[in-house]
Structure 1
Amino acid sequence: MKRNLTISVLVLFCFFFVNTSFAQNAPVKGKVTDANTSEPLIGVSVAVKGTTTGTQTDVNGAFTIQAPPAATLVFTYIGYTTLSLSVNNQSTLTVKLQPESKELQQVVVIGYGTQKKRDVTGAVASVNGDLLAKQPVQTATQALQGKVSGVQVLSSGQPNSAPILRIRGTGSVLAGANPLYVVDGVLTDDIRNINTNDILSLDVLKDASAAIYGVRGANGVVIITTKKGKSGPATVSYDATVGFRQVANPLQLANRAQYTDYLKDANPTADVNAPVTFPGTTDWLKVVSRTAFTTNHNVSVAGGGETNTYFISANYLDDQGVIKTNGFQRFTIRANNEINISKKLKFSEQISLSRGAEQTVNLNGIYGNIYRAAPIIPSIVDGKYGNTSAWGNVGNPLLQLDKANNFTLNNRVQGNVALDYKPISSLTFHSAFNTDVRFNNQKNYQYQFLADNSTFTVGGGNQYQNNSVLFVQNDDSYQYTWDNTVTFDKTFGKHHLTVLGGFVTEKNKSNFLNGSRQDVPANQDQWYLSLGNPDVNAKDDNGGGLFTRQSFVSRVNYGFEGKYLLSGSFRRDGSSKFNQHWGNFYTFGGGWVISEESFMKDNHLFDQLKLRASYGKLGNDNIDQALYIVTATSNLPYYFNNTLNLGSVIQDIKDLNLKWETTTQFDIGLDFAILNNRLSGEVDYYNKKVADALTKIPLPGILGDPDNTYITNAASYSNKGIELGLKWNDRINSKLSYSIGANISYNKNNVIGLNGGQALYDGGINSNTVTRTDNGQPIGSYYVLQATGVFQTAAEAATAPTNTFEANKVGGLKYADINHDGKIDANDRVYAGSYQPKYYGGFNFAINYTHFDLSADFTGNWGNKIYNGKKNSRGSENDNIEASYADSRFTTAKPSNTNPNVITASTPPSTYFIESGAYMRLNNLTLGYTLPSAMLKRANISKLRIFLTSQNLFTLKRYSGSSPELFNNDVNTGITAAGIDNTNYPVTRTFALGLNLQF
């Protein structure tokens, strides 16, 4: 009986198993389309949930998969929301996928943590690293130009130059206006050692959310996260570009005929047939420039196992400058690793080693001389140089390059090690030690050359170097930051709470040692100070600095039902740079995800809608570490009882109560996505005020300060603005998709409290100042005479107000007598704009059709002015002029009411030299082709893309100079003198061929 029962049970089990097996293998067919366009989607992944069974849709969007009647199918496709769909005994399914809004779902880095963008209450912009890597640039921030609202980027064609970033306007004059950079937790002011191909994402904290970084965050924060490995087989990638750079929009200077015609008015006694001249024309820019080779190669390996992941990359960059003898080479190695020691403990490390070799040029001397050098002097003939200085002109620019060798070697180690411990799923202890170490060596060698016929085609002049001179300097700096934080992150029903607390310790130490010697041999292998003459003008110097910071950080983020958001942070900073060491900085914000409300569920317009606002206080301690410390100068000679003695004296007058600048900022913004998430955007209004800003107060000379100035906290500035950013993503069909993005920012900069009304003058031209920073005006506003035209007759010149700068004459500029005192002097100056743009932004588009891709990026600004300082600077009557001025200046045969007949050293700064700085530039254009995967399988290649790219293809501008983007002025002359075009490195245009290869 038992045996029969056992047999019956086995039969029933087999029957059930067979029927179940057949049920599991029932075919399910269907078609997947775009929910908006009804176009079929190719390559959609279809998987049976909880199993390894899966397939993909074909060219018609169709699929067939074996699945049981009660199974759930999961559909995933890049750019679309993942969909889970129950089979429910159906054999045929119709599937429609919705395009997803990546903008509000993406994860952004907010400082000591991450958040989904939809949960962020501050103004945070994020750019994918792949977008930055598309452009053939050395530094990632160059590729950021025009991509983010509220962020203005100024870049240069000079190799190894660091771009200038202004986030929501200029907020400081003496304490630095550039943002803080954070690279994988390492705080730095320079990211030129970072390979753009290694960047995973770049996030910009634009509002008071940067207060989490305390005294480092007043000018905004740029957070860079580099790539890491993923579990799985090793992936090898090779990315490369090879191309060339050339001078873009070269400035056209007068040729021989135009120049000699000008000399008849400027210097009638000049003998254009003198022995130093020649009958041809020298284009000095062509003489000293070249078509420059550039190449960039990057190899990376990424992968990992069950407990560890790794990412290793190596990069080589070679960027020749378009000015001869200029160039830069860099080699970088990076390694990022993560090891899960246990389920609760993780170890991670990131390390970057870079070595850069740069051959620099004296930008101020070379470019100024290119502009002014006479075109009737030969550059070089039979190995001998044309003697421009003997012509009463500047030095020969080519000789300046050939007889100088300025070489800098940069070595840098940057990285961190970290431990993360999770005793429970909601609690994380994090400890990270971050370091940035630099070793730099500089050698500048001036070759000997004499002012005779051995050097020049004709001897004489004042350009010579009687003795060779070697200058050597070694710099090293060491910075470390130790972060220790604990984070609690948990969801309680409808509530989500994240709490962060911890402390940060920072130390920075730097040293330099330099010396110089004459008569060092010209052989480069013998460029050592010990081989020079120590008895003739020998010089040695050393110095350095040390400062520390100690900080306590905390932050709370709270969300209710995913639609009501609150956040707040507090940081207490202590800095050794001030006598008053400690300060408190904070931010708080709120957000409302309106689209999650029940009354919005049936709306047919907004897919996502969030209102947010924030307010906070930030600091800025980016000043010299000894600015408040009174020091004595020793070994100064003085007489006592008719005997010469050496003593010490306090020369500088300093403010012992100096404190950091503080920035308070209010921001209100709206994030949205409409039209089935195809159009997304954000709009922000901000009001940023800087108080206790450092400035110089003039002192009476009787007090004995060498500079007759006193630095103290006595200024206030404001920046108010509106930002708008829009992105459109759409897929027309399975083969064609495209995206368009645009952003525009309006900013109004204003000085609202300065020195009790004592203005700051800057920007020297021919012993006159060009800018004035004062209450009610933007920082660095032009303050010049108002030119009203050109004197046409002698009678008109005779009856005009007396000009204290130069005599009134026919063909000379005439000016407005603003104060009506009958004379033209410094009291008649007026404000005439500034270099700070009122509007700036950019737009871009990308098109993908089958295997082709085309993308373009535009950038520009409006509402700013440029001072053509080259035109106004006249060191000699024999200086050259611009070709456009030569053809349009006043002459008796062709009178002009706009351009004077000559410009001399006595011509004062005026509105005549001020031009529009508005421009629109095609920043990048790239055309690529990705080979079909079927062609690559045999070679085990997963991806191969070939592309052509160009940088700075064309610029639409009104400025008569080479470029309206004046990068070097801000660096060389300071913020209050920015916008004076005098010595800019030539703007470059790049053409390159590249490939992306992946195994």
Structure 2
Amino acid sequence: MQAQDLAFRRPQSANSDTPLPSSRTGTIPLRSALHKLEKTYRINFAYNARLVADKQVPATAVNDGRNTPLPDVLQALLSPLELQYTQIDPTVYVIKARGSQENTQLATPAETITDIQAAPVKGTVTDKAGTPLIGVTVRVKGTNTGATTGPDGSFTVNLPEGKDTLQISYLGYQSQEIAVAGRATVNIVLQSGESQLEQVVVIGYGTQRKRDLTGSIASVKGEELAKQPVLTATQAAQGKIAGVQIITSGQPNSQPQIRVRGTGSVMAGANPLYVVDGVLTDDIRNINSADIVNMDVLKDASAAIYGVRAANGVVIITTRKGRAGKTEVRYDANAGFREAASLVKMADRNQYIDYIKDAAPTKDPINDPNVYPGSTNWYDATLRKAFQMNHNLSVSGGSDKHTYFFSGGFIQDDGIIKTNTFRRFTLRANNDVNISDQWKFSTQLSYSRGDGRNVDLNGVYGNIYRAAPIIDPEENGRYGNTSAWGNVANPLLSLDKRNYRQQDSRLQGNLALEFTPIKALKFRSAFNADLRWGNDRIYSYKYVNDDKTFLTAGGNQRVDNATLVQDNSRQQGWVWDNTATYDQTFGKHSFTLLAGSVTEGFYSTYLTGTRINVPESEDLWYLDLGNPDVQSRLNNGGDKYARQSFVGRLNYGYDSRYLLSASIRADGSSKFRQRWGYFPTVGLGWVISQEDFLKDSKVFNFLKLRGSWGILGNDNIPTNAYINTATPNLPYFYDNVITLGSALQDTKDANLKWESTNQFDFGVEFTLLDNRLSGEVDYYNKKTKDALVVVNIPSILGDPNNTYITNAASFKNTGYEISLNWKDNITKDLSYSIGGNITFNKNEITNLAGGQALLGGGVGQQSFVTRTDNGQPVASFYVLESLGVFQSQAEIDSDPNITNDPNRTTNDPNRKIKPGDLKYRDVSGPTGKPDGVIDANDKQYFGSYQPKYFYGFNLGLNYKGFDLTADFYGNGGNKIYNGKKAFRFETTDNIEADFADHRWKADRPSTTDPRLLTSALPASTYFLESGAFLRCNNLTLGYSFSPEKMKAIGITRFRVYLTSQNLFTLKKFSGFTPELPGGTIDFDNSINNRTTHPSSGTAANNTNNTSGILDAGIELNAYPTTRTFAFGVNVSF
């Protein structure tokens, strides 16, 4: 049988004039049945037209949708007709007579399938990335004349007289019709049209079609992540996944903070687990976004397959691999600049001097020799437009035996604060080798190195905000002396005289061996490693307060000794997975069984040294070169733990309608005395659209109900946190003799255990209107018990801080998620898409053992502004209610809220209530009733930093070669405490311009702003503001040049684009950014936490807890949100 004798069929477009039988009874022609199967299973049949002529088959044989496996359908269909089939390609089946030995190979892919002598038309078919597509069907409409594309995507087809339209179809892509219009060459770009339901997602130790999932798993394609000019893939995913809140920062090399369905812990870490090609990690900043194929987020009980590390969700990253065929070379790059997106306007010279007359009447800025006659904008002195660029080069390809993917990337991401820089380069090599039909070997290996200069955010940025505008920043290498005005260090001096160098190297990868003894059974063994080395150095330059350093001498700004702090750290983590998977289908029953073991180990160590008088030259920054007469101060430590786990999972489906999944994981952790924990999960699904009563629905293409329940764990606490420790070699007198002994260093809970989260999820998935509209709706309920907190204990127990960590809290997150996406073509050249998601979440403490509320968020001299207690969200703001401003003494005297307040009648001018001061509501007293005194008894709850809802939506438009995309993100229902207004050490600190213009004055009364702002003001709702915002995350306009023109110079794809990140933000918050981190866990061993140097995080204090989460939502020194403009290119060869 020759190729010319075959008729090659594909599902026809909506404009096809070949009707399909719709009868559900009787018989239909075999040709029509095969046509329907092509549409249902998205495949091609090749057959001799005479072989199928006049043959009839039962209509019911092809009316089962995709519920029955294709081989079973073909066997039932063809056997009675003495026919058989052979699969020659993943999507091509040849039908022939039973027992026939005829050659079933088609002609070379570029040959015509039915040869009709006519004018030839040539061309190429590529995807939108410019990659040639092999095996695409190109057919002349209204005939059986057609061709398939070759390895380079080329085709030649003979166009019969009177025919002018080509129909192009390919599995996973949208079919097209192209008018030839007399052209001899036609180049075609196919748009991806794969149904989301057919996408394969990674579910942990395996994969599954999205339509078969019983859990809530969201996916973002790598091409979507790579579009944005950002450093990390998670930052690019902001607003794209329902239930996943991503909080970003403008600071270079910062790790975005992710919350999956609310805050999952107070102390044990609230960020998700990341799995990169099998490597478990908590940081993916080293992963190049251009290398990512897919990001899958396990949001519900489906994450329980990762057991004791899954309570906060799991993010699975899959990197790119090579494909058999032509070698592909890709180059992607963008370059641009960053600038501050939102700055708080500060008072200028005249506004500041007017304020000083009231705040510090003894000061005379006009005649002070330190005062600069001009007006200083400290933003201009310390900030800049920073350069940014990103380059990625990759090579991929291979054969049936070996495929490969190699890539290299370089990023320069300078901060908007002067001296703040960052560089990173990455290398990746992914290989897959088919040793034989049964054995496969694969490797994924990546290396990255980051180098940068960091800044002390507390010191520098806090001083930029507070520095007086009447001081000259710098002149001819000498700095303005700010000592007399606010006791604020000159921010520019602080930047120049402190050099914080960071260097981080990381090697990640795995080796995997697969053995498939029979088709349905696969054994896999994979060894995954994550190695990391850090080398940080902080050099503080020596300077004194003389006229060589300052424009005017004096004050207390000086560093008497040049100091070097050097920190070397090393981390080694490894995981060995061994799994067996059995995947089989029997009739309408399909099931997948997984069983395996996971062994994990981790080791880290650090050594920090400090020495004075080290030479200034960076080449000489070594501790040995410091002052030999002064001993170096050394500090070292480390960590070590292990886990042993066993996993099992069953996925079962009946008739593709009824779905069941169940898994169990047993985790043994060395971090606890009670070693083992067990984490089960079960999920059910019902594909209603496969039922007879909905099969022929003209509205629903797909409808599924699903529900899941499971238990997840969290053991992210310090190792050996259950073991008491002591400080040895402490001298004390015993019987008048100095004796060495030990003292209890801290008290530990011997019965400490991991946190446990019980999660229930119910969801609906649907596609409507010819698959143009798709969506999901989910309800979830997460209940966490045995949450770790720090509680107060009696001093008699010997703990220096009278506290210890224990499992003493429970809380829950409940909410709804809604996702909707619409895609459609207006014309053959114009298509568009609209998508969006919104999440409503409620966080609530349900039990605090012992009734001890958790306090956090101390701002300057203010008492703690957050309180975590039963019935309230974590870190709720607990402050006085501000009622406005006193306008007169008569109003003060008659105010019922302060009838007994001593500050009303005191003679102390610093305490006495005056017109222009804030007034507060008297809520309660020691007896529980209002007492006319404003004190701590009057504090109330006023919201939380946690948004009640957050959302994202996107718009896409494609017209010929142009593409336009816009992404938006926002949240609402939360509060932010504008702590920087209260964080003023001196009355001579600068103020905001808005406050300067609207503060209360006797000749200009105000009902909102008081006369003065000092750190002595009590915490109140005056400092609380709305945290709601809407941000245009990304706006990109691109143009792809004609592949036909590019092919002449050897290029398969060439695209240029303009893009902007964080183009604008709509907000009510008066501070720098409403997007504040939700707190960090104070368990890391970064150099800032191992030395006396201040951390670059928030300056808010906390008590009876070491969790930064309790300080969340307080803006003090947040790095400003940055706006990026860039130009980029995408080139493929």
Q: TM-score, normalised by structure 1?
A: 0.93
**Aligned equivalents of 1:756 and 1:928: distance in 2?**
60
Query: Is the Cα contact below 8 Å between 1:919 and 1:957 reproduced in 2?
Result: yes
Which residue is 1:814 aligned to? 919
Give the residue type in structure 2 aligned to 1:708.
N
Query: Is the Cα contact below 8 Å between 1:29 and 1:62 reproduced in 2?
Result: no
Shift of 1:806: 4.0
Query: Is the Cα contact below 8 Å between 1:311 and 1:337 reproduced in 2?
Result: yes
1:329 to 404, 415, 423: 423
Is residue 132 of structure 1 aligned with residue 201 of structure 2?
no
Which residue is 2:699 aligned to? 605
**Aligned equivalents of 2:881 and 2:16: distance in 1?**
62
Secondary structure in structure 1 of the residue aligned to 2:943: coil
Give the residue type in structure 2 aligned to 1:336.
N
Which residue is 1:190 aligned to? 283
Q: Indicate the percent of aligned positions where both proteins have the same amino acid.
A: 56
1:790 to 870, 882, 885: 885
Query: Is the Cα contact below 8 Å between 2:578 and 2:598 reproduced in 1?
Result: yes
**Aligned equivalents of 2:954 and 2:370: distance in 1?**
53
Which residue is 1:992 aligned to? 1126
Which residue is 1:358 aligned to? 452
1:203 to 289, 296, 300: 296
* Residues 89-123 of structure 1: CA deviation (Å, up to 9, x unaligned): xxxxxxxx999662211110000000000000000
Query: Is the Cα contact below 8 Å between 1:54 and 1:65 reproduced in 2?
Result: no
Please show how residues 435-474 of structure 1 align to structure 2 within 5 Å.
435-474=529-568
CA separation of 1:35/1:679 partners in 2, compared to 1, >3 Å: closer, same or farther?
Answer: farther
Which residue is 1:591 aligned to? 685
* Residues 465-514 of structure 1: CA deviation (Å, up to 9, x unaligned): 00000000100010000000000000011000100001000000000011
Which residue is 1:313 aligned to? 407
Is residue 427 of structure 1 aligned with residue 521 of structure 2?
yes
Deviates more, 1:950-959 or 1:698-707: 698-707
Query: Is the Cα contact below 8 Å between 2:1078 and 2:1109 reproduced in 1?
Result: no
Which residue is 1:772 aligned to? 867
Secondary structure in structure 2 of the residue aligned to 1:756: helix
CA separation of 1:23/1:108 partners in 2, compared to 1, >3 Å: closer, same or farther?
Answer: closer
* Residues 660-715 of structure 1: CA deviation (Å, up to 9, x unaligned): 00000000000000001000000000000000000111123443322221210000
Please show how residues 70-81 of structure 1 align to structure 2 within 5 Å.
76-77=169-170
Shift of 1:81: 7.3
Shift of 1:62: 5.3
Secondary structure in structure 2 of the residue aligned to 1:287: helix
Which residue is 1:228 aligned to? 321
2:981 to 871, 886, 896: 871
Secondary structure in structure 2 of the residue aligned to 1:833: strand
Which residue is 1:696 aligned to? 790
Secondary structure in structure 2 of the residue aligned to 1:530: helix
Query: Is the Cα contact below 8 Å between 1:298 and 1:316 reproduced in 2?
Result: yes
Unaligned ranges ≥5, structure 1? 1-19, 39-43, 84-96
Query: Is the Cα contact below 8 Å between 1:570 and 1:587 reproduced in 2?
Result: yes
Is residue 887 of structure 1 aligned with residue 997 of structure 2?
yes
Secondary structure in structure 1 of the residue aligned to 2:619: helix
Please show how residues 828-839 of structure 1 align to structure 2 within 5 Å.
828-839=938-949
CA separation of 1:335/1:623 partners in 2, compared to 1, >3 Å: closer, same or farther?
Answer: same
Give the residue type in structure 1 aligned to 2:5.
Q
CA separation of 1:448/1:968 partners in 2, compared to 1, >3 Å: closer, same or farther?
Answer: farther
**Aligned equivalents of 2:701 and 2:216: distance in 1?**
20
**Aligned equivalents of 2:313 and 2:525: distance in 1?**
24
* Residues 114-156 of structure 1: CA deviation (Å, up to 9, x unaligned): 0000000000000000000000010000001000000000011
Query: Is the Cα contact below 8 Å between 1:46 and 1:74 reproduced in 2?
Result: no
Shift of 1:32: 4.6
CA separation of 1:99/1:874 partners in 2, compared to 1, >3 Å: closer, same or farther?
Answer: closer
**Aligned equivalents of 1:431 and 1:239: distance in 2?**
34
Secondary structure in structure 2 of the residue aligned to 1:953: coil
Query: Is the Cα contact below 8 Å between 1:760 and 1:772 reproduced in 2?
Result: yes
**Aligned equivalents of 1:851 and 1:98: distance in 2?**
12
- Alpha carbon RMSD of aligned pairs, Å? 2.5
Shift of 1:333: 0.3
Deviates more, 1:374-383 or 1:613-622: 374-383
Deviates more, 1:764-773 or 1:149-158: 764-773
* Residues 588-643 of structure 1: CA deviation (Å, up to 9, x unaligned): 00000000011112222100000000000000000001211111112323233444
Is residue 634 of structure 1 aligned with residue 751 of structure 2?
no
Query: Is the Cα contact below 8 Å between 1:374 and 1:393 reproduced in 2?
Result: no
Which residue is 2:654 aligned to? 560
**Aligned equivalents of 1:604 and 1:673: distance in 2?**
11
Please show how residues 44-193 of structure 1 align to structure 2 within 5 Å.
50=94, 51=106, 52=109, 53=111, 63=141, 76-77=169-170, 102-193=195-286
Secondary structure in structure 2 of the residue aligned to 1:149: coil
Give the residue type in structure 1 aligned to 2:976.
I
Which residue is 1:977 aligned to? 1111
CA separation of 1:642/1:21 partners in 2, compared to 1, >3 Å: closer, same or farther?
Answer: closer
Is residue 530 of structure 1 aligned with residue 511 of structure 2?
no
CA separation of 1:28/1:846 partners in 2, compared to 1, >3 Å: closer, same or farther?
Answer: closer
Query: Is the Cα contact below 8 Å between 1:390 and 1:462 reproduced in 2?
Result: no
Secondary structure in structure 2 of the residue aligned to 1:769: coil
* Residues 401-420 of structure 1: CA deviation (Å, up to 9, x unaligned): 00011001101000000001
Which residue is 1:677 aligned to? 771
Which residue is 1:959 aligned to? 1069
| Total equivalences in the alignment | 957
Query: Is the Cα contact below 8 Å between 1:46 and 1:54 reproduced in 2?
Result: no
* Residues 927-975 of structure 1: CA deviation (Å, up to 9, x unaligned): 0000001111111110000000000000000101121011385473511
Query: Is the Cα contact below 8 Å between 1:33 and 1:61 reproduced in 2?
Result: no
Secondary structure in structure 2 of the residue aligned to 1:733: coil
Secondary structure in structure 1 of the residue aligned to 2:411: strand
Query: Is the Cα contact below 8 Å between 1:47 and 1:54 reproduced in 2?
Result: no
Give the residue type in structure 2 aligned to 1:935.
K
Please show how residues 176-325 of structure 1 align to structure 2 within 5 Å.
176-273=269-366, 274-325=368-419
Shift of 1:775: 0.6
Which residue is 2:86 aligned to? none
Query: Is the Cα contact below 8 Å between 1:29 and 1:65 reproduced in 2?
Result: no
Secondary structure in structure 2 of the residue aligned to 1:824: coil
**Aligned equivalents of 2:912 and 2:874: distance in 1?**
33
Shift of 1:874: 1.6
**Aligned equivalents of 1:357 and 1:246: distance in 2?**
21
Please show how residues 904-919 of structure 1 align to structure 2 within 5 Å.
904-919=1014-1029
Query: Is the Cα contact below 8 Å between 1:356 and 1:411 reproduced in 2?
Result: yes
Query: Is the Cα contact below 8 Å between 2:660 and 2:683 reproduced in 1?
Result: yes
CA separation of 1:35/1:813 partners in 2, compared to 1, >3 Å: closer, same or farther?
Answer: farther
**Aligned equivalents of 1:498 and 1:26: distance in 2?**
37
Which residue is 2:1012 aligned to? 902
Which residue is 1:823 aligned to? 933
Which residue is 1:24 aligned to? 5
**Aligned equivalents of 1:877 and 1:565: distance in 2?**
67
Shift of 1:24: 3.1
Which residue is 1:507 aligned to? 601
* Residues 150-186 of structure 1: CA deviation (Å, up to 9, x unaligned): 0000011110000000000001011000000000000
Q: TM-score, normalised by structure 2?
A: 0.82
**Aligned equivalents of 1:400 and 1:639: distance in 2?**
46
Please show how residues 716-755 of structure 1 align to structure 2 within 5 Å.
716-755=810-849
Shift of 1:25: 8.7
CA separation of 1:943/1:451 partners in 2, compared to 1, >3 Å: closer, same or farther?
Answer: same
Which residue is 1:478 aligned to? 572
Shift of 1:807: 2.7
Secondary structure in structure 2 of the residue aligned to 1:823: coil
Deviates more, 1:445-454 or 1:214-223: 445-454
Shift of 1:727: 0.5
Which residue is 1:92 aligned to? none
**Aligned equivalents of 2:956 and 2:422: distance in 1?**
32
